[in-house]
Amino acid sequence: MQPTSVARLGVLGSGAGSNFVAIAEACAAGRIPARVVLVLSDVEHAGILVRARERGIPARYIPPGPFRTKLDEEAERAYVRALQEAGVEYVVLAGFMRVLKSVFLRAFEGRIVNIHPSLLPSFPGLAAWRQAWEYGVKVTGCTVHFVDAGVDSGPIIGQQVVPVLDDDTPETLLERIHQAEHELYPRCLAALVRGELVLQGRRVLWRGARPEQETRTGDRPGG
């Protein structure tokens, strides 16, 4: 069933914001029946804040507190308050470099999604593309998943495969993973806000059309 109004997304990021841009553009083009109503960052001068403001989307830095890998409880409350005040229905993590704890998870239970630059459950954690390159796998990619209390461990919504080429460096591989992310994330978000995803245990079933798996081979002939 089509929604009668567009969904309200809140995006959290710590970095450049290329996934945010892909999502905002997909919303503007009507490919996701949603609108980004707020962007939050734990990094004061993060590119994602600049890119949001350029598009006229409210964007705020909220200090994360003293820890390196999580928000402290007071900060979590501040993030939740800001998102709730903006009427956010779905929280979209796009390069947010901190794990979320119970205050946040409870406030948006089942409505938080993340993108990770590997085919989970392989290579969770930091610099996943480099982990994959160093390990020597022949295919990697990206994963969109629901967020739970673990690190990159929630139910998988969608994945897109990216082959690892013999002459790849971690950087060239990451570039193609990013391109795949910019395709996969909007498609998964569209299905999510349309109510087309059904959670059965750890399995996420697509009631609507599942995106075709595309494979990023790079520009080389025969690559």
Helix then strand then coil, % of the chain, to nearest 5: 30, 25, 45
DSSP codes joined into one string, 154-206 = SPEEEEEEEEPPTT--HHHHHHHHHHHHHHHHHHHHHHHHTT-EEEETTEEEE
Nearest-5° Cα angle at 109, 35 to 29: 15
Rounded Cα–Cα distance for residues 108 and 81 (Å): 11
Q: Shortest gap between Cβ of 200 and ligand GRF (angstroms)?
A: 25
Q: Shortest gap between Cβ of 175 and ligand GRF (angstroms)?
A: 10
Residue closer to ligand GRF by CB (options 74, 134) is: 134
Q: What residues make contact with ligand GRF under the rule CB under 6 A?
A: 13, 15-20, 48, 94-95, 115-117, 178, 181
Q: Shortest gap between Cβ of 181 and ligand GRF (angstroms)?
A: 5
Kind and range of the H or E element at 107? helix 102-107
Burial 145-162 (b: 16+ CB within 10 A, else e): bbbbeeebebbbbbbbeb
Write out the catalytic residue numbers.
Answer: 116
Rounded Cα–Cα distance for residues 187 and 181 (Å): 10
Using alpha carbons, select from 32, 35, 28 the residue that is nearest to residue 9.
35
Q: Shortest gap between Cβ of 117 and ligand GRF (angstroms)?
A: 4
DSSP codes joined into one string, 53-64 = HHTT--EEE---
Residue closer to ligand GRF by CB (options 83, 120) is: 120
Q: Shortest gap between Cβ of 125 and ligand GRF (angstroms)?
A: 11
